[in-house]
Amino acid sequence: MADDDSPAADETPAPPTDDLVTTSHTLRTPSGDLAYTATAGRIVLRHEKHTDGTFDGYEPHAEVFVVAYTLDGADPGSRPVTVAFNGGPGSSSVWLHLGLFGPQRVVMGDAGALTPPPWGLTDNVESLLAHSDLVFVDPVSTGYSRAVAGGKPADFHGYTADVETIGEVIRLWITRNERWLSPKYLAGESYGTLRAAALAAHLQDRYGMYVNGLMLISSVLDMGSIRFTEGNDRPYPLFLPTYAAIAHHHGRHPGRSLPDVVAEAEEFAAGEYPWALARGNRLPAEDLDRVAARLAALSGLDEGYVRRVRLRIEHHRFFRELLRDSGRTVGRLDGRFTGWEADDGGEHPSYDPSIAAITGPYTAALNAHVRSALRYENDLPYEILTGRVHPWSYAEFEGRGVSVVGQLSAAMRANPHLRVHVACGYHDGATPYSAAEQVLAQLPIPDELRDRIEFRYYEAGHMMYVHEPSRQQQSADLAAFVTTT
């Protein structure tokens, strides 16, 4: 028999509530001390509920984990706010949080000089916090973010639902913290760049919230530019300069500089290579000989292999093939990293050595930082990078390619002050820089707005900030972007 003070069997659980925790900190930088407040926890999202046309109130449907850093004593009217997230889909915001933007950063070494567990954290004296308040958002099912009890996580695992959810988090944070008159920036990495572009349009259209700038790190706005699908020859030339850069890093272009190698690859990829692919079996033998030889030389692959794949080098095949003669594979997210396979006969790598190298350090750092510094406690596993969001729904794009080119161009036309910063890693085999260049070059905006878009390049990969010289330069580049009006 139950005790008198025990809950009844049919008693419904208490509705979820925000569980935010606030702490005070100081970051010591060469330019002076930055006193700041950190706020970490889950924000409850609610949506309007209607039954037969009758408004039934607001019903909780998700708890989204957010970490915010705000500079003490700053004028909220002039102090920028940067909202940041990563991609996946299925990634938390840990990479931008503890790799580039936040006041603490991971210590893990770099390709060829990784440090062993348990790794560590150190002050990020180049943190963007010196120039902008920071808000990191984990999409539902990543980090500590979850659907509410009784809710369906799959309802959040798709393009539109994701944009609407993150948009609502941004609206709530900006409203509750009285930051509608602050300059606002969105920072996304990888799929997060597609999300950021869609959000710029969504925030304008849904809430009348106009942002000042987008930071697109390892950009992909049009999935057709990077997906190797049957009948789509577009990615092959767009990946070639990245293949050449990775081959250069691994010694396949001795005596040549990286700029010289990628410039040659860019020229070939913009002209003769796509022409040859389009010709198919109509390509004369002498042209095939010339194209195959040059493609092999640029990519660092054997010419016989290039011929066997009909001049079409799929990226996973490249990562497996480039260093096959030395028993190594190269990373997809960052081609500077190498790994081993069980044997040397496979066609595709079984794992990405670059993501394997960074997952442990970032996971350890996040779990330590949240409890020890931010004082937030939650016994849920922090989902760093999860497959639980799949299948990811692109139902809105049925019958056409997944692209937010239209949304970004519409946002820029409606808000001519919107600026776009694009950060590219030469060794990024997931979102190659040439694809980003082509997509943005074809953006349907008037010529007067072209100077609103800027590109910056780094000799590293997808998370270019794991390379220390790139991290320092990228931090300076983003600081300049945020402080430019």
Mean pLDDT of 138-156: 96
Mean pLDDT of 288-293: 98
Nearest 5 degrees, angle CA 276-CA 281-CA 284? 65
pLDDT at 1 over 70: no
pLDDT at 142 over 70: yes
Nearest to 366 by CA among 143, 146, 187, 191: 143
Q: Do 306 and 236 touch, CB atoms closer than 8 A?
A: no
Q: For 191, phi and psi rounded to 5 degrees?
A: -55, -25
* Structural domains in the chain, sorted by start: 21-224+358-483 (3.40.50.1820), 228-351 (no CATH)
pLDDT at 367 over 70: yes
pLDDT at 115 over 90: yes
Nearest to 420 by CA among 431, 434, 407, 402: 407
Burial (Cβ within 10 Å: 0-12, 13-18, ≥19) of residue 367: middle
pLDDT at 52 over 80: no
More confident residue, 21 or 60: 21
pLDDT-above-70 percentage for the chain = 98
0.85 cut: is pTM over it? yes
For the chain, how are helix, strand and coil distributed in percent, rounded to 5? 40, 25, 40
Tokens encoding 287: 């042209």
Interatomic CA distance for residues 363 and 395, integer angstroms: 32
Q: What is the pLDDT of residues 330-350, one digit of tens each?
A: 999 999 999 999 999 999 999
pLDDT at 4 over 70: no
pLDDT for 200 equals: 98
Interatomic CA distance for residues 281 and 412, integer angstroms: 43
Burial (Cβ within 10 Å: 0-12, 13-18, ≥19) of residue 148: middle
Q: What is the pLDDT of residues 310-324, one digit of tens each?
A: 999 999 999 999 999
Q: What is the pLDDT of residues 457-480, one digit of tens each?
A: 999 999 999 999 999 999 999 999
Interatomic CA distance for residues 179 and 76, integer angstroms: 6
pLDDT at 10 over 60: no
In eight-state DSSP terms, residue 434 is H
pLDDT at 15 over 50: yes
pLDDT at 148 over 70: yes
pLDDT for 8 equals: 53
pLDDT-above-90 percentage for the chain = 92
Positive/negative CA dihedral, 318, 321, 322, 323: positive
| Total Cβ atoms within 10 A of residue 86 | 33
Nearest to 474 by CA among 113, 219, 215, 258: 215
Q: Which residue has the tokens 């990020």?
A: 124
- What are 51's strand-pairing partners? 54
Where does the pLDDT of residue 56 fall: very low under 50, low under 70, confident under 90, or very high at 90 and above?
A: confident
pLDDT for 2 equals: 47
Q: Which residue has the tokens 């692919």?
A: 277
Mean pLDDT of 235-255: 98
Q: What is the pLDDT of residues 396-435, one digit of tens each?
A: 999 899 999 999 999 999 999 999 999 999 999 999 999 9
Strand 338-339 and strand 329-330: the pairing is antiparallel
pLDDT at 7 over 70: no
- What are 184's strand-pairing partners? 81
pLDDT at 199 over 70: yes
First to last CA, the chain: 69
How high is the mean pLDDT of the chain?
95
pLDDT for 153 equals: 96
Q: For 19, phi and psi rounded to 5 degrees?
A: -125, 45
Mean pLDDT of 145-165: 96
Burial (Cβ within 10 Å: 0-12, 13-18, ≥19) of residue 187: buried
- Side chain identity at residue 78, one-letter code: S
What is the total residue count of the chain? 485
Positive/negative CA dihedral, 342, 343, 345, 347: positive
Q: Do 425 and 460 touch, CB atoms closer than 8 A?
A: yes
DSSP string, 265-300: HHHHHHTHHHHHHHHGGGS-HHHHHHHHHHHHHHHT
